[in-house]
Amino acid sequence: MQHTPLHELVVAAHTPFHADGSLAPEVVPAQAEFLAARGTRTVFITGSTGESHSVTCGEKLAIYQAWAAAGPANGLRVIAHVGSNCIGDSQTLARSARECGFVAISALAPSYFKPAGVAGLVDVCAAIASAAPETPFYYYDIPALTGLTLPMERFLTEAAGIPNLAGIKFTNPDLVSYRRSLGVAGDRYDLPWGVDEMLLAALATGARGGVGSTYNWAPDLYRKLIAAFGSGDMAEAQRLQSLSIAMIDAIAATGFLGTAKALMGRLGVPVGPARLPLGNPSPAQVDTLIETLKRLEIPGLF
């Protein structure tokens, strides 16, 4: 297995829908072109930002096919989230991702019937990863959504027998756990950070890359933040992180995911609304958001 670590900003892409909520895979080429034009090199599809649990297995397969064409056409590497409450579906998705030539797969834990502990989680990940044995596999740790909180440093140790384990997509704000996990990972495993509003703290803790939804429209903000941190200009890095937090707060005020998709629409990429059970903002609320974001002067946004 050959894999390039995710020491970069990886965009967590939205799953596009029509206004009536039906799947809109024909929008994927516009997404890919938009992201590539802003310097993105790698996308993470059908994850939390992609409304994974609100999209059927068949719909995910259709999105995979769309990205299998649009990604390479725009110079983008594609990582597919394949997690599901049904391990069989996860294996089907993993095989499809392999056939599509994606550079990696990832899976969060089942969240209805949950693994009882680290050993159970390792069994789940091994079953999924084995369906695409030559494709790098990332466990996706996001306790806020799965309700599963386990020590990731123990997972890395106990999952060492999974041949294609590449690391963990760490969407967990516990920086102590992150530091412990980085210590275990060494150079063997890759641990991209997944909480955009805490990127600076993660960099100070040892992060070398991240996967995030706000990188869809504000990658320049985070590139400048990373550059400021790298040059030792902590005051500027802190200012940019505060700007990130203010941007996220403004979007989340009317429901983060639905509002983020509406923002993408205003930027020329019609990814449509969020599906139930999530809500969507009114046009007036989006107007207000745009005014707020312009006042914030987010680098490269408008």
Q: CB neighbours (10 Å) of residue 43?
A: 28
Under 8 Å CB-to-CB from 209, ≥6 apart: which residues? 5, 6, 7, 8, 9, 10, 190, 192, 193
Residue of 140, 178, 189, 215 with catalytic role: 140
The C-alpha atoms of residue 13 and residue 284 are separated, in whole angstroms, by 25
- Residue 140 is a catalytic residue: yes
- Which residue, 301, 176, 177, is CA-closest to 248? 301
For 133, the token pair is: 């044995």
Given the residues 60, 64, 139, 169, the one annotated as active site: 169
> β-pairing, 77-81 with 137-141?
unpaired
> What are the residues whose beta carbons fall under 8 Å from the beta carbon of 121, sequence distance 6 or more?
109, 115, 139, 148, 150, 155, 159
Contact 14, 52 (CB under 8 A): no
Is 169 one of the annotated active-site residues of the chain?
A: yes
Strand order across the 104-108 sheet: 165-170, 137-141, 104-108, 77-81, 42-45, 9-12, 210-212
Of residues 181, 45, 71, the one with CA closest to residue 118: 181
**Cα dihedral across residues 57, 142, 263, 240: positive or negative:** negative
Q: Is the dihedral of CA 42, 48, 50, 53 positive or negative?
A: positive
Catalytic residues: 140, 169
